[in-house]
Each structure stands twice: as C-alpha cells, then as structure tokens.
Amino acid sequence: MSQIKIAIAGSSGRMGRVLLECVALADDLQLHAALEHTGSEFIGRNAGELFAAKSSITISDDLENALCGADVLIDFTRPEGTLHHLEICRRLGVAMVIGTTGFNAQQKALLGAGAQDIGIVFAPNMSVGVNLVFKLLETASRVLSHGYDIEIIEAHHRHKIDAPSGTALGLGEVVARTLGRDLEKCAVYGREGITGERDPSTIGFATVRGGDIVGDHTVLYAGIGERIEITHKASSRATFALGALRAARFLKANSAGMYDMQDVLDLKA
C-alpha cells in the first residue's frame, strides 16, 4: 500500500511541529512538504530541526512547487493564508484538511466553492474526543430543551488570537441547531453592568485566555436543582494532529466535497 503524501502549512508553529512529528511516526504517511510564509526565519532549513528528527524535506515558501505531487495539505494557519493555499490546491488537485479558525461567512463560502474541485475536511476542532462531544450535545440538548439555561465556557493559551474559539462556536451551533434556534440571534458573548434577567432562549459564551492552556471546553446546562456539564480538556496538541491525520486518510479514499470530522468518524448516522 502506497503512503499518503502529506504537506504541512505553518510547519514551524505550535501545531505544525506536532503534525510533523505525528506524520513521521505514521507508517502509512509520508512528509511531502513543510511550508512557511515568505520571510520566515525557517525557510531553507531542514524540517527535522523542528521535531528533533532526521528529514529529507527542506522548509519552503514556494507553494506551487512544494505542493506539486502532494495528496493532502494540512492547514492550521490563519484565514487569509488558508484561502491563498486553497487557490493553489484547487489548481493542483491537492485535498485539504483545514483546522484554521476565525473565518467569516464570506470566507467560508470560498471554502465551499473550493470543495467543488477538491476534497476538504473543515472542522473547528480535529480532536476525536471533541467531535464525540458534538454528537453527545445533540442528545443532551433534545432532552434538556426546556427549563435549562445553556452556557459555553472555553479556555485557551495566551497566544490565541480569536474569541470565542472556533470549537466553542461549533458547540454553540450544534446546540442551537438541535433546539431550532439561530445562533447568530441567540448568542450572548459578553455581560457587564445591569444586564437584567437572563433570557432563557439565549446561549451564553464565556472566554478565558492565559498561560499555556491547550484547550478546555464546557457546555453547561443549568436547571433548577441540578447542573449537567459536558466537558472536554485537551492536554496535548497531539490530539488535534492525530485527528487531522485521520481526516487526511479519509480524504485519500473520498472524492471532492466539503466534509467535517463527523463524516470522518462516521457519526452522522
């Protein structure tokens, strides 16, 4: 069985380094390219330096040449960079696993257009555990649809640039969809001063940023006399990397289209 050729965008970043290491440890995967933005101090250096291993791959900013022959690009960068990568992947027929967060509606539409030509797995969180939580929330939200106030609390490291996290918004979307609500209309992202009583139709979000927290997410259903909490805590970025590699394997076996981790894990039945 031939190995799947993997390219990694943002290879010198926190997620990029973990992805490099996880690809190196997988027998069915081969590192095809390690990419960085133009001007990065890592351009021209050996990719193995980023995860203390030997590698034949040199870090490059020449996307066109580096992606030629790749099967899948894994991208945990920023929306503008990801959309630039998408243009080249569409042209070359390279599938994409996208873990980038912070896209606006217009940018998401561009991803959808790209999926007409290539396979894309786009998910706010690649963790297998988090995506199981998405499924559990459907059941919990149906059972607790009346008499329970719903709040979503998330915590991440001090370097994270967007809030709430893409995962928190994804959790909110699952809850809202299950309850027949529009998250854009019912979400409350901040409370300060005299806010009045809580509107029971709202879904609240609270954000914590500090230290080196990898990612904690809790969905709280607060009723009268009891609270139900569904929580996921990530202690290592390896959980996201391993999920992304699972998504890459899925794309190798599937045609063009837009997929998410629920597809990858066969949780939509």
Among 205, 209, 233, residue whose Cα is nearest residue 159: 209
Residue 99 lies in a domain: yes
207-241 residue pLDDT tens? 999 999 999 999 999 999 999 999 999 999 999 99
Walk across the sheet containing 119-122 and list its strands: 29-34, 4-9, 72-75, 95-98, 119-122, 257-259
CATH number, domain with residue 59: 3.40.50.720
Q: Are residues 83 and 136 in the same domain?
A: no
Q: Are residues 111 and 209 both part of a single domain?
A: no
Residues 96 and 30 in one domain: yes
CA distance 82 to 103: 10
Distance, in Å, from the CA atom of 55 to the CA atom of 58, rounded to the nearest integer, reads 8
Mean pLDDT in the chain? 95
Phi, psi of 256 (to 5 degrees): -60, 150
To which residue do tokens 């927290």 refer?
213
Looking at the structure, tell me whether residues 14 and 63 fall in a common domain. Answer: yes
Q: Residue 159 catalytic?
A: no
As a whole number of angstroms, the distance between CA 118 and CA 225 comes to: 50
Q: Are residues 18 and 53 in the same domain?
A: yes
Counting residues of the chain whose pLDDT is more than 90, the rounded percentage is: 91
109 and 10 both lie in a single domain: yes
CB contact at 8 A, 18 and 237: yes
- Please tell me the predicted confidence (pLDDT) of residue 210: 98
46, part of any domain? yes
- Residue 121 and residue 133 in one domain: no
Other CB atoms within 10 Å distance of the CB of residue 153: 18
- Domain that includes residue 33, residue range: 4-126+237-264
Given the residues 32, 85, 156, 217, the one annotated as active site: 156
Residue 269 lies inside a defined structural domain of this protein: no
What is the rounded CA–CA span in Å between residue 110 and residue 79? Answer: 11
Spatial separation of the C-alpha atoms in residues 221 and 230, rounded to whole Å: 9
Which tokens sit at 193?
């001063």
Any residues with CB less than 8 A from the CB of 256 and at least 6 apart, and which? 115, 116, 117, 118, 119
Q: List the chain pLDDT tens, one digit each, 269 residues.
A: 689 999 999 999 999 999 999 999 999 999 999 999 999 999 999 999 998 788 899 999 999 999 999 999 999 999 999 999 999 999 999 999 999 988 999 999 999 999 999 999 999 889 999 999 999 999 999 999 999 999 999 999 999 999 999 899 999 999 999 999 999 999 999 999 999 999 999 999 999 999 999 999 999 999 999 999 999 999 999 999 999 999 999 999 999 999 999 999 999 86
Report the CATH number at residue 134. Answer: 3.30.360.10
What span, in angstroms and rounded, lies between the C-alpha atoms of 71 and 51?
Answer: 22
For tokens 């607060």, name the residue.
222
For residue 58, list its beta bridge partners. Answer: 46
185 is catalytic: no
Q: What is the pLDDT of residues 14-55, one digit of tens each?
A: 999 999 999 999 999 999 999 999 999 999 999 999 987 888
In the structure encoding, which two tokens stand for residue 267, read together? 């949780």
What is the tally of structural domains in the chain?
Answer: 2
Looking at the domain assignment, is residue 136 inside a domain? yes
How much is the pLDDT for 120? 98
pLDDT at 208: 98
pLDDT of residue 54: 82
Q: Assess if residue 65 is contained within a domain.
A: yes
The verdict on residue 29 lying in a domain is: yes
pLDDT given for residue 269 in this prediction: 66
* pLDDT given at position 53: 80
Q: Are residues 146 and 122 in the same domain?
A: no
Asked if 142 and 77 sit in the same domain, the reply is no
Are both 140 and 114 inside the same structural domain?
no
Clarify whether residues 185 and 253 are in a common domain. Answer: no
